Structure 1
Amino acid sequence: MAFFLETTLGGLMAGVLYSVVALGFVLIFKASGVFNFAQGAMVLFAALAMARFSEWVPAWLGFESMLLANTIAFVLAAMCMLVFAWLVERLVLRHLVNQEAVTLLMATLGITYFLDGFGQTIFGSAVYRINVGMPKEPIFVLDNLFQGGLLVNKEDLIAALIAATLVAVLSVFFQKTTTGRALRAVADDHQAAQSIGIPLNRMWVIVWFVAGITALVAGIIWGSKIGVQFSLTTVALKALPVIILGGLTSVPGAIIGGLIIGVGEKLSEVYLGPMVGGGIEIWFAYVLALVFLLFRPQGLFGEKIIDRV
Structure 2
Amino acid sequence: MNLLYALFVDPWVQMGQAPDLLVQTLWEGLVSGVLYALIALGFVLIFKASGVFNFAQGIMVVFAALTLVGFYEMGVPAFLALALAVGVMFLLAVTVERVVLRPLVNQPDIILFMATFGITYVLIGLGELIFGGNPKRMITEQLYLPKGAVEFKILGGFVSLQKIDIAAAIIAAIMIAVLAFFFQKTRIGRALRAVADSHKAALSVGISLNQIWAIVWFTAGIVALVTGIMWGARSEVSFALQVIALKALPVLILGGFTSVPGAIVGGLIIGIGEKLGEFYWGPLVGGGIESWLAYFIALAFLLFRPQGLFGEKIIERI
**Do Structure 1 and Structure 2 share a fold, with TM-score over 0.5?**
yes
Identify which of 108, 111, 126 aligns with 1:118. 126
Aligned partner (choices 248, 257, 262) of residue 253 of structure 1:
262
Work out whether 1:73 is the aligned partner of 2:77. no
CA contact (8 A) 2:256 2:308 kept: yes
1:111-146: CA deviations, max 9, x gaps? 1111001112122222111122233322113x3x53
Q: Distance in 2 between matches of 1:270 and 1:125?
A: 32
Match of 1:137 among 148, 152, 162: 148
Contact 2:49 2:195 in 1 (8 A): yes
Structure 1 unaligned spans of 5+: 59-68
Alpha-carbon distance in 1 for matches of 2:66, 2:247: 19
Report the Cα distance in structure 2 between the residues aligned to 1:180 and 1:307, rounded to whole angstroms.
27
Letter in 1 for 2:118: G
Distance 1:101 1:191, change over 3 A: closer
Task: Name the residue aligned to 1:162.
Answer: 171
Query: Counterpart of 2:67 in structure 1: which amino acid?
Result: A
2:218 aligned residue? 209
SS in 1 for 2:292: helix
TM-score by length of 2: 0.89
Q: What are the residue-to-residue correspondences of 1:285-296 with 2, within 5 Å? A: 285-296=294-305
Q: What is the alpha-carbon distance in structure 2 between the residues aligned to residue 34 and residue 54 of structure 1?
A: 34
Q: 1:273–1:279: 8 Å Cα contact kept in structure 2?
A: yes
Residues 95-106 of structure 1: pairs in structure 2 closer than 5 A: 95-106=103-114
Q: Quote the Cα distance in structure 2 between the aligned partners of 1:103 and 1:190.
A: 15
RMSD of the alignment, in Å? 1.5
Deviation string 1:62-101 (CA, Å, 9 cap, x unpaired) is xxxxxxx221111111111111111111111121222222
Contact 1:70 1:132 in 2 (8 A): no
Letter of the aligned partner of 2:274 in structure 1? E
Q: Which region of structure 1 is more displaced relative to structure 2, 245-254 or 128-137?
A: 128-137
Provide the aligned length of Structure 1 versus Structure 2. Answer: 297
Conserved 8 A contact 1:140-1:148: no
- What is the match of residue 34 of structure 1? 52
Q: Does the aligned pair in 1 maintain the 2:61–2:225 contact within 8 Å?
A: yes
Q: Percent identity?
A: 59
**1:40 partner amino acid:** G
Counterpart in 1 of 2:286? 277
| Matching of residue 18 in structure 1 with residue 20 in structure 2 | no
Question: Could you tell me which residue of structure 1 aligns to residue 70 of structure 2?
Answer: 52
Structure 1 101/188 Cα, relative in aligned 2: closer, same or farther at 3 Å? closer
Shift, 1:148, TM fit:
4.0
* 1:53 Cα deviation from its structure 2 partner: 1.0
Tell me the residue number matched to 2:11: none
Quote the offset at 1:214 in angstroms: 0.6
